[in-house]
Amino acid sequence: MAQNIYDHPEFFEEFMHLPSQTKGLNGAPEWPSFRSLLPSCLENAMILDLGCGAGWTCRWAASQGAAKILGIDISYKMLKRARDFPQDTRITYQQADLEVVELARDTFDIALSSLALHYVKDLPRIMQQVFASLVEGGTFVFSIEHPIYTAPSNPDWNKKEDAQPLDDYLHDGARTTNWLHDGVIKYHHTFATLINLLHATGFVLEQVAEWGPSAEEVYTSKELANRRNRPRFLLMKAVKPQIM
């Protein structure tokens, strides 16, 4: 079973103050990149959102004319928050652990997952679930913390002497970090692991983005400049091929 850090009271409280929660998608700097990987038209699409949190992407998909949206998250608190928004009959929220969830087969046109898969230990299993849940020609778009960012054996290197900003890259597996709270477990997956896994699952990888601010944005923020040194997010678009 996956760690459910989002239901920890202090973590949840901190998380609710992040721009991605106070401003929604407009507070998520990588959203324009993520959006650009999704199909341009969502009209009448069946959509699956893995790690939907407070439902920002689900509501956006509804606004784009999607037929039905299933949002899945492990966190009761996040789903409660999602349900506090005005209800839309096209959106269904489901509490489930991505380590063990069983998805409906041949159902969705688009599966998406925003910054959730680095919490998943058994990536091959969820990839297979997503692949089976998509119709032929369906699209899977996900973002994940960048391998450069998840690699270090000591993720809080910038707060400690002797810690290295990048080590242990080739060692896939769990890293325990302090992000909003102590003891948050994230899983490091190398680039090769992610790409070979998509291929082995049957997906065709169509596009990759490594999110960092634009050169223009960097002028406005020193903190952002560091994100061009080490991109924080990795985004991928893969397609379940049509059987000819």
How many residues lie near a second copy (CB under 8 A)?
28
Q: Which stretch binds a second copy (CB under 8 A): 75-83, 97-105, 181-189, 223-231?
A: 223-231
**Between 169 and 179, whose beta carbon lies closer to a second copy?**
169
Q: Which stretch binds a second copy (CB under 8 A): 127-135, 137-145, 175-183, 208-216?
A: 208-216
Instruction: For residues 5 and 12, give the distance between their C-alpha atoms in angstroms, rounded to a whole number.
Output: 8
CA dihedral sign, ordered 69, 212, 214, 157:
positive
- Cross-strand bridge partners of residue 236: 142, 208
**Between 58 and 194, whose beta carbon lies closer to a second copy?**
194
The residues, any chain, with a CB within 8 Å of residue 29's CB and separated by 6 or more, are 211, 213
Q: Which stretch binds a second copy (CB under 8 A): 19-27, 95-103, 126-134, 222-230?
A: 222-230
Shortest distance in whole angstroms from residue 120 CB to a second copy: 20
Using CB under 8 A as the binding rule, the residues of this chain from 76 to 115 that contact a second copy are none
Return the half-sphere exposure (C-beta side, CA atoms, 13 A cut-off) of residue 18.
15
- Which of these, 178, 2, 147, lies nearest to 74 by C-alpha position? 2
Contact with a second copy (CB under 8 A) among 90, 99, 191, 202: 191
Cβ–Cβ contacts within 10 Å for residue 197, how many? Answer: 15
Shortest distance in whole angstroms from residue 125 CB to a second copy: 21
Shortest distance in whole angstroms from residue 229 CB to a second copy: 4
Q: In angstroms, how far apart are the furthest CA atoms of the chain?
A: 57
Between CA 207 and CA 91, with CA 65 as vertex, the angle to 5 degrees is: 95
Shortest distance in whole angstroms from residue 211 CB to a second copy: 9
End-to-end CA, the chain: 38
Shortest distance in whole angstroms from residue 228 CB to a second copy: 5
Return the half-sphere exposure (C-beta side, CA atoms, 13 A cut-off) of residue 54.
18
Determine if 205 is a binding residue for a second copy (CB under 8 A).
Answer: yes
Using CB under 8 A as the binding rule, the residues of this chain from 128 to 187 that contact a second copy are 148, 164-171
Binding region for a second copy (CB under 8 A): 148, 164-171, 190-192, 195-196, 199, 204-210, 212, 228-231, 244
